[in-house]
């Protein structure tokens, strides 16, 4: 399904300048930009859905980890004393 996009002169120039600098076509630059945007938005939506599920579980059970508990756990990643994820509590 063909799609067209209209850019104002300033953005069009920026796209073409970047394309020239990268030795790519303007189409390639725009395609990648749109693809990256769509991918980020999909990940954002997944994150929001996971947050809703987590918030719902917290409201139902009251179980949680504090920010400090998470920071301490993450601080052990990659170290010889790496710790498993802490248990949630009320």
pLDDT tens-digit profile of 49-83?
999 999 999 999 999 999 999 999 999 999 999 99
Q: Could you tell me the residue ranges of all domains in the chain?
A: 9-64
Summarised one tens digit per residue, pLDDT across range 20-36 is 999 999 999 999 999 99
Reduce the DSSP state of residue 83 to 3 states and report it.
coil
pLDDT of residue 30: 97
Q: pTM of the predicted model, to two decimals? A: 0.71
CA–CA distance, 63 with 90 (Å, rounded to integer): 4
CA–CA distance, 62 with 60 (Å, rounded to integer): 6
- The burial class, CB within 10 Å (0-12 / 13-18 / 19+), for 55 is exposed
pLDDT of residue 1: 86
């Amino acid at each position: 399904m063909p799609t067209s996009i209209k850019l104002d002169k300033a953005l069009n120039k920026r796209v073409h300048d970047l394309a020239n600098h990268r030795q790519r076509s303007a189409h390639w630059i725009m395609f990648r930009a749109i693809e990256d945007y769509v991918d980020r938005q999909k990940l954002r939506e997944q994150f929001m859905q996971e947050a809703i599920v987590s918030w719902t579980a917290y409201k139902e059970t009251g179980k949680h980890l504090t920010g400090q508990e998470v920071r301490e756990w993450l601080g052990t990643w990659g170290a010889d004393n790496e710790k498993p994820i802490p248990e949630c509590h009320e």
